[in-house]
Structure 1
Amino acid sequence: MLQLALATLRPRRAVPGRDLLDPSVTHLRVGLGDLDLYRHVNNGVYLQYMDIGRSNYLADLGAFGRLAAHRWYPVVAASTMKYRRSLTLGERFTVTTRVLGWDARVVYLEQVIERGGLLVARGWVAGRFLSRAGERVAPTDVVAAIGEADRESPELPEDVAAWACAVDVAHR
């Protein structure tokens, strides 16, 4: 939780020349509070690791100030996870976050957690942005605010598009 607070309240510096579709890599280490009774990372903690990865993705783009100027903030509309391996105390790992595309309602991201080059977990996230007044912000407006005004979304991978329809987050 402290890592997430730091990543959000004191974001890392923007990466010059970072493109919206470039992956963002976050390096983390498993802490004692991340473990469950079975001494491996609790499934809910993976979602917090992904939150940190998404905050760092926005920081890499230099987006925090731009979003704050509009009084917009990100929320998760849906997510799904697949776990392949466990993480245990002290292990170092990475969370790689990348945008797969967007539609009129949400932005679709893939987040991959790896340890030593081995896949630990993979998640898809459908995220949206809200204004402080509680109104939904169109992803195209967010993309424009980040500085990519005329950018069109890449075509979503078929399996992600099918998932978006199945969990009812896709644009209708």
Structure 2
Amino acid sequence: MLQLTLATLRPRRALPGFDPLAPSVTRLRVRPGDLDLYRHVNNGVYLQYMDLGRSNYLADLGAFGRLSARGWYPVVAASTVKYRRSLTLGQRFTVTTRLLGWDGRVVYLEQVVERDGLLVARGWVAGRFLSRAGDRIAPADVIAAIDAGLRESPALPEDVAAWARAVDVAHR
């Protein structure tokens, strides 16, 4: 939680010319507080790692200033994670965050956790942006604020689109 707070309040430096459709990589190491009684990373901690990856993705874009100036902030509407392998104390790993696309309601991200080139976990996240007044912000408006050149969403992979319909976050 401390890492997420720092990443949000003091984001890493923006990457000049970073493409919103390019993957953003966050490098981490398992800490003692990340472990459960079985001495591997608790499933809920993976969600925090993914939160950190999304914050770093926004930082790479240089989006924090532009979004906060408008009073906009991100929230998770839905997420699904598939776990393949465990992480244990001291292991280094990466969280790769990639924007898959958006519709009239939410943006869709894929987040992949890997250790030594092996898949540890994969998650899909549907996120939306809210204003400080509590209004929903159209994803197209958020994308335009981040990158004025990006106008159309890439086609969502069919499995992601099916998931979005199944969890009832897809634009109707």
TM-score, normalised via structure 2 length: 0.99
Does residue 1:167 correspond to 2:164, yes or no? no
Distance change in 2, residues 1:143/1:35 (3 Å): same
Amino acid corresponding to residue 154 of structure 2 in structure 1: P
Cα drift, residue 147 of structure 1: 2.5
1:105 corresponds in structure 2 to 105
Cα drift, residue 95 of structure 1: 0.1
**Aligned pair count?**
172
CA distance in 1 between partners of 2:150 and 2:73 (Å)? 21
What is the DSSP-based 3-state SS (H/G/I as helix, E as strand, rest coil) of the residue aligned with 1:57?
helix
Cα drift, residue 150 of structure 1: 4.9
Does residue 1:117 correspond to 2:117, yes or no? yes
Cα drift, residue 93 of structure 1: 0.1
- Structure 1 vs Structure 2 CA RMSD: 0.7
What is the DSSP-based 3-state SS (H/G/I as helix, E as strand, rest coil) of the residue aligned with 2:164?
helix
The answer to whether the 8 A contact 1:143-1:149 is kept is no
Deviations 1:6-41 (A, max 9, x none): 111100000011011010000000000000000000
Matches within 5 A, 1:141-152: 141-148=141-148, 150-152=150-152
CA distance in 1 between partners of 2:3 and 2:12 (Å)? 12
Does residue 1:70 correspond to 2:70, yes or no? yes
CA distance in 2 between partners of 1:127 and 1:147 (Å)? 17
Q: Which runs of 4+ in 1 moved over 4 A?
A: none
The answer to whether the 8 A contact 1:77-1:126 is kept is yes
Task: Give structure 2 stretches of 5+ with no counterpart.
Answer: none
Amino acid corresponding to residue 64 of structure 2 in structure 1: F
CA distance in 2 between partners of 1:29 and 1:20 (Å)? 25
Amino acid corresponding to residue 111 of structure 1 in structure 2: Q
2:19 corresponds in structure 1 to 19
TM-score, normalised via structure 1 length: 0.99
Cα drift, residue 148 of structure 1: 2.4
